[in-house]
């Protein structure tokens, strides 16, 4: 192929009066954008390699660098937009499926933006969380629907297994392999300090992290990587991954170059082989099959661990959730279409699935209507970006939220969306030792703790404003929400009134 049709997407702008040619940018760029030219006596850059991860920008000691979007544009066309045309060029070059990372970036509706939260005025006093007790602790698991007594009339206090969380947020599944050892160490340490849980993802649990087991959710996905009895018993809960919001209906593929020695041992597969997760679990083709796996896992863990079933938010999510709630699972996790990924086919990521807001509201309502809401707890995920999103999700019916993209951002991710390249300059989505060491878990875990502590304060502040002093009183409390700019159908599905009503 002689001619490249695609002009580089970004420009590296270097302020010559500030650049001291310290070459930090050159040493820090795994994409090899920067170089020192002896002939020119100055730094030069090859912007075609730039992914706009901003590592050089962040480390440049004189702020001499910025990365801007190139203004070299194709002729304007509302139908054939730049990205659409460039994707055609790429596919004409490669003949391959387009790959992307992280969540759906398309300008589809974000319902969180169209939902507003209530506050108390005059007749019902707000609460000041700095002066009065405020409960953010939640328990996830089956809740008994009847009170049982023994023959002497004493209460039967035996509850099904529960997860205790200091706040209604957990770090969602990211496998060891897709993210680095240090990223996992940061998540594990932060979850332990915060009194919440992180999730191993489908890549097994590294032997070093068994010590954080009481703050770990161990995942069982279709590839069953790293699953053994010790693994299942190591965590506080077990998650069966049926689907992922970023790529519903398809499996996963971790390329062989990321299966380095430690990853290979943890996943229990040979070094350098591709780790392929099939699209389905080959033993699950019905709710009855799912029930068998749920109870196999419960049996393997002596009924001590709650079992989570994670599904992507898709069209018939309410019916699917109803089935899962009857399968014996303790918790359902629903992942909306904006959820992130380490790699997914672009077309799938951008076009498959439905928004978490609508899915969550529909599921909560369906389970209530069927009288089985207490059978399961609900976890909402798929781009929960702030404490306000958490509060809105809880009021829509979630028991807790999963966050992953926000956690990665705290660790340094700049959402350049090229995780699939394995050259993450921030030491997150990579297995290259020189890059992995860029994420020091001492700093990473502290930033995660800071972020979640800030969110917890904000959640308490918003709850206090509503006159609510316990997260339990907010759960499914849709009267606390109003929609703006939503049509009747959207309001009906969300189960909320329009602002002004």
Partner 1 sequence: MKRVYVNEEWCLGCHLCEYNCAFANSGMKDMALALKDKKIFPRIHVEGDDRITFAVSCRHCTDPLCVKSCIAGAISVLDGVVCIDQTKCVGCLTCVLVCPYGALAPGESGVMQKCELCMGNACGAPACVTGCPNNAIVYEERNDAT
Residues that bind partner 1 (CB under 8 A): 17-24, 27-28, 58-59, 61-62, 64, 434, 437-438, 440, 442-443
Element (H, E) at 445: helix 441-466
Instruction: Note whether 169 and 175 are within 8 A (CB).
Output: no
- Please report how close the Cβ of residue 62 comes to partner 1 at its closest, in angstroms: 5
Q: Tell me the closest approach of the beta carbon of residue 209 to partner 1, in angstroms.
A: 18
What tokens appear for 354 in the block? 């439905």
In whole angstroms, the minimum distance from the beta carbon of 31 to partner 1 comes to 16
Q: Least distance from C-beta 34 to partner 1, angstroms?
A: 12
- Shortest distance in whole angstroms from residue 283 CB to partner 1: 43
- Torsion over CA: 281, 284, 286, 292 (sign): negative
**Based on CB atoms, which residue is closest to partner 1, 380 or 448?**
448
Q: At its nearest, how many Å lie between partner 1 and the CB of residue 191?
A: 21
Closest to partner 1 by CB, 408 vs 468, is 408
Task: Choose between 372 and 409: whose C-beta lies nearer to partner 1.
Answer: 409
Q: Is 17 or 487 the residue whose CB approaches partner 1 more closely?
A: 17
Least separation, in Å, of the C-beta of 18 and partner 1? 4
Structure tokens at 262: 């430690």
Ordered alpha helix ranges (H), 213-331? 229-234, 261-267, 287-300, 317-325
The per-residue DSSP string of 361-403 comes to HHHHHHHHHTT-GGG-EEEEES---SHHHHHHHHHHT-SEEEE
Backbone angles phi, psi at 240, to 5 degrees: -95, 120
Question: 96 is written with which tokens?
Answer: 């391959």
Q: Which residues have a Cβ under 8 Å from the Cβ of 448 and sit 6 or more positions away?
A: 171, 186, 187, 190, 194, 407, 410, 411
Buried b (16+ CB within 10 A) or exposed e, 451-462: bbeebbebbbbb
* Pick 412 or 465: Cβ nearer partner 1: 412
Q: Residue 127 or 435: which CB sits closer to partner 1? A: 435
List the one residue out of 422, 441, 424 whose CA is nearest residue 198. Answer: 441
CB 441, min distance to partner 1, A: 10
Taking the least distance from each CB to partner 1, the nearer of 62 and 286 is: 62
Question: Do 460 and 136 form a contact (C-beta atoms < 8 A)?
Answer: yes
Query: Nearer Cβ to partner 1, position 30 or 308?
Result: 30
Tokens 């809105």, located at residue: 392
Smallest distance from partner 1 to CB 20, Å: 4
CB of 443 to partner 1, least distance (A): 6
Q: Report how far residue 122's alpha carbon sits from residue 321's, in angstroms, rounded to the nearest whole number.
A: 40
CB of 431 to partner 1, least distance (A): 16
Pick the closer one to partner 1 by CB: 27 or 137.
27
d(CA 302, CA 84): 53
Question: Is the CB of 17 or the CB of 79 nearer to partner 1?
Answer: 17
- Neighbour-count burial of 61, counting CB atoms closer than 10 A to its CB (0-12 exposed, 13-18 middle, 19+ buried): exposed
> What are the backbone angles phi and psi of residue 366, rounded to the nearest 5°?
-60, -45
Q: What distance in Å separates the CA atoms of residue 196 and residue 42, rounded to the nearest whole number?
A: 49
**Quick check: 192 and 217 in contact, CB under 8 A?**
no
If the CB atoms of residues 206 and 281 are measured against partner 1, the closer one turns out to be 206
């Amino acid at each position: 192929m002689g001619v490249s049709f695609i002009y580089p997407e970004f420009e590296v702008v270097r302020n010559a009066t500030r650049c001291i040619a310290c070459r930090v940018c050159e040493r820090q760029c795994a994409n090899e954008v920067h170089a020192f030219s002896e002939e020119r006596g100055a730094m030069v850059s090859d912007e075609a390699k730039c992914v706009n991860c901003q590592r050089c920008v962040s480390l440049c000691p004189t702020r001499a660098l910025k990365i801007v979007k190139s203004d070299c544009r194709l002729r304007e066309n509302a139908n054939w937009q730049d990205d659409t045309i460039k994707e055609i060029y790429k596919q004409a070059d490669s003949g391959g499926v387009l790959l992307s990372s992280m969540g759906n970036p398309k300008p589809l509706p974000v319902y969180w933006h169209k939902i507003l939260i209530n506050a108390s005025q005059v007749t019902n006093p707000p609460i000041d969380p700095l002066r009065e007790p405020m409960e953010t602790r939640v328990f996830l698991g089956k809740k008994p629907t009847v009170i049982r007594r023994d023959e002497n009339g004493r209460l039967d206090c035996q509850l099904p297994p529960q997860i205790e969380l200091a706040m209604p947020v957990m770090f969602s599944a990211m496998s060891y392999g897709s993210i680095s050892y240090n990223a996992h160490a940061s998540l594990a340490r932060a979850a332990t300090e915060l009194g919440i849980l992180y999730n191993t993802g489908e890549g097994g649990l590294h032997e070093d992290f068994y010590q954080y087991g009481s703050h770990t959710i161990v995942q069982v996905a279709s590839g069953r990587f790293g699953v053994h009895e010790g693994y299942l018993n190591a965590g506080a809960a077990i998650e069966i991954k049926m689907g992922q919001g970023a790529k519903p209906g398809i499996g996963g593929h971790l390329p062989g170059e990321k299966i380095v020695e430690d990853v290979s041992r943890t996943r229990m597969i040979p070094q350098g082989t591709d780790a392929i997760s099939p699209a389905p679990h080959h033993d699950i083709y019905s709710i009855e099959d799912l029930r068998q796996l749920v109870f196999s896992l419960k049996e393997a863990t002596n009924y001590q661990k709650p079992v989570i079933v994670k599904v992507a938010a898709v069209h018939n999510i309410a019916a699917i959730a109803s089935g899962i709630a009857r399968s014996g699972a303790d918790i359902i996790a629903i992942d909306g279409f904006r959820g992130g990924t380490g790699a997914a086919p672009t077309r799938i990521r951008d076009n498959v699935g439905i928004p978490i807001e609508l899915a969550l509201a529909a599921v909560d309502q369906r389970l209530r209507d069927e009288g089985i809401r207490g059978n399961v707890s609900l976890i909402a995920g798929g781009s929960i970006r702030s404490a306000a999103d958490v509060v809105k999700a809880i009021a829509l019916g979630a028991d807790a939220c999963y966050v992953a993209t926000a956690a990665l951002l705290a660790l340094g991710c700049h959402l350049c969306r090229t995780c699939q390249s394995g050259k993450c300059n921030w030491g997150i989505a990579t297995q290259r030792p020189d890059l992995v060491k860029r994420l020091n878990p001492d700093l990473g875990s502290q930033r995660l703790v800071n972020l979640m502590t800030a969110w917890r304060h904000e959640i308490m502040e918003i709850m206090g404003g509503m006159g609510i002093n316990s997260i339990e009183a907010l759960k499914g409390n849709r009267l606390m929400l109003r929609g703006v700019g939503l049509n009747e159908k959207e309001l009906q599905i969300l189960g909320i009134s329009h602002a002004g009503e």
